[in-house]
Structure 1
């Protein structure tokens, strides 16, 4: 009776931690979207002139 280490990790530990993992990924993605929106508002990022001048055919 019992399981090997792989079975314990996937059937017990991962199942118990899954809600927290999903919550962490969700919070991270929302933060990234928010920060990129704020930086775009204040003028962060690459300007279009820089892109068009660096690409010449």
Structure 2
């Protein structure tokens, strides 16, 4: 994991909130993960992809 890429991914408030929620709840599917956010499940999936690609 490159530290600059990892932190760049967390610069987005939604991605930071997703990581925080996953830390609290553990593994959940994208539909469940999207519930507290005002975004669609596909948008959550895109955010997860960015996080995965950055090493999270």
Verify same fold: TM over 0.5.
no
TM-score, reference length from structure 2: 0.28
Larger RCO (CA within 8 A; separation ≥ 6):
2
